[in-house]
Amino acid sequence: MRCIVYDARCFPAIREEDLPHALVTGAARGIGLALTEALAERGWAVTATCRAPDEAAALQALGAAHSELIQIAPLDVADLEAAERLAARIEAPIDALVNNAGIAWRDTRFGALDYEAWRRVMEVNLMAPMRVAEAFIEQVAASEHRKIVSISSSLGSIAATTGGNYFYRTSKAALNMAMRSLAKDLAPRGVTVALLSPGYVDTDFTRPVVGGPPKISARDSGQGLADAIIGLTTEDSGRFKRFNGQLVDW
């Protein structure tokens, strides 16, 4: 029996033994939802996590459409103990741990910076992915594919910065460094740690922005990310790539 919504009684039965298994954070909407769908379309079992599964109508519908592959579980990545609680309930190996959950902040004008908001962005975009990685490392190391992937952004590129957007830029730049360091530390365990940029995606955050480069749909981004994640090799560990496979300048 497979449960669509998290239930401790059947949670260990996440996947059939011959299916690769991914855990995706922030799967309720946007890129995370599209990535979950793309992985399921490719025959992967997915544990799709979000803060409030009961309120995630789109994810619930996707889970119902792929009930043999997708299971939904609650996870608030800002709660640094929540990942440990969830990890204690997952017995199946995790072939790809995908840190997708993140937040941004619009009003970051120099001279009027909200430092509490900045701290919040750093907690969610930097510390939470590291905490999730720590919590699930044993399941990842026990898997066949052994991948940890964090969704970053070209806005975190120091070389390409155009100024402004301090909170989001610094959080992603710090995430890049943390994951590059983690790649070195986990290399002896055969774990591939990579960073992927989803592109300039049409989401709730980018929709109000006027001008800029053309946006791509969440579905197109999710499809590209799924292919990139599946195609990652140990040689990609510590690298920062776009969803289409191109390297991003740090």
Tens-level pLDDT at each residue, the chain (250 residues): 344 445 444 444 454 557 999 999 999 999 999 999 999 999 999 999 999 999 999 999 999 999 999 999 999 999 989 999 999 999 999 999 999 999 988 767 899 999 999 999 999 999 999 999 999 999 999 999 999 999 999 999 999 889 889 999 999 999 999 999 999 999 999 999 999 999 988 876 666 665 667 888 999 999 999 999 999 999 999 999 999 999 999 9
Which residues are annotated as catalytic?
168
Global pTM reads 0.92
CA–CA distances in Å: residue 127 to residues 4, 33, 131: 29, 22, 6
